[in-house]
Amino acid sequence: NNRVNLQMADPEFSAEELARYNELIEKGEETIDSSWEKFYEGVGFKVWRAPKEGSAGLYKYRSIGTIHCPAEQYFAFYRDLDYWKKWDENCEILEILERPNENTQVIYWSVSWPFPLTNRDYVYQRFSKYYPEAGLYMVRGNTVTHDKRPPGSRVRVVEYDCVCACKQSEDGKTCTLFLDTWDDPQASLPSWLLSWVTSKAIPAFLTKLDTNAQKYKM
């Protein structure tokens, strides 16, 4: 029996959530309150962070930026795990364990960490759907457990949440990306060192997202 232990509440986005994400995309930095600090600003993207409640030394991250391709292309790119394995050199294993329905996948993801740190892995459920009434491509993900991939030699990340919202620009050539992420990598590193690693990893990842989404052929 390889059934997944579903720990995600109803993954559908409510009308209220869609309205909120539309506002976050349209108003951008205006929606960032004093609880967030700017963490990175570069070409096309800005990233903020805020302390994660109940998790000393850990942060949640909010990114807003531009992807230089149409929203439909970015959404197809983001969902294509076979293509993802080709461009993300930190991706060691990426496989679908189960498809509960057409919008939902249970995914196993193993990530290479730099020596001497142990590689991390995740089992998470990803819900992705286009909401035409809101003009939003939405993705929601969080960790679950699954019999096919019990914890092994890698460090299992058991706390991970992600929401991604994508909206087409008026000219149809680019799209705005809004990304909220949080995970506990369970790394026994000093907080300053973890912050330094994250400050390098997030901008590099966002740049790779944009570059490879542009190359993607639907």
Tell me which residue of 132, 136, 192 sits closest to 21, measured CA to CA: 136
What's the whole-number average pLDDT of the chain?
87
192 has a pLDDT exceeding 70: no
CA angle 53, 31, 8 (to 5 degrees): 45
| Between 133 and 59, residue with greater pLDDT | 133
Give the pLDDT score at 85.
93
Give the pLDDT score at 199.
72
Give the pLDDT score at 1.
43
- pLDDT per residue over 39-76, tens digit each? 888 878 999 999 888 777 788 899 999 999 999 999 99
Q: Are 139 and 126 in contact (CB under 8 A)?
A: yes
- pLDDT per residue over 134-185, tens digit each? 999 999 999 999 999 999 888 899 899 999 999 999 999 999 999 999 888 7
* DSSP bridge partners of 183: 160
| Between 187 and 26, residue with greater pLDDT | 26
9 has a pLDDT exceeding 80: no
Distance from CA of residue 44 to its chain's centroid?
17
Name the pTM for this structure: 0.88
**What span, in angstroms and rounded, lies between the C-alpha atoms of 91 and 213?**
17
Q: Are 31 and 23 in contact (CB under 8 A)?
A: yes
4 has a pLDDT exceeding 80: no
104 has a pLDDT exceeding 90: yes
- Contacting residues for 21 by C-beta, under 8 A, at least 6 apart: 13, 134, 136, 138, 163, 165, 178
Q: Are 167 and 130 in contact (CB under 8 A)?
A: no
Give the pLDDT score at 66.
95
Question: Tokens at residue 148, please?
Answer: 């096919």
The pLDDT confidence band at residue 189, using thresholds 50, 70 and 90, is low
Give the pLDDT score at 137.
98
**What span, in angstroms and rounded, lies between the C-alpha atoms of 92 and 74?**
22
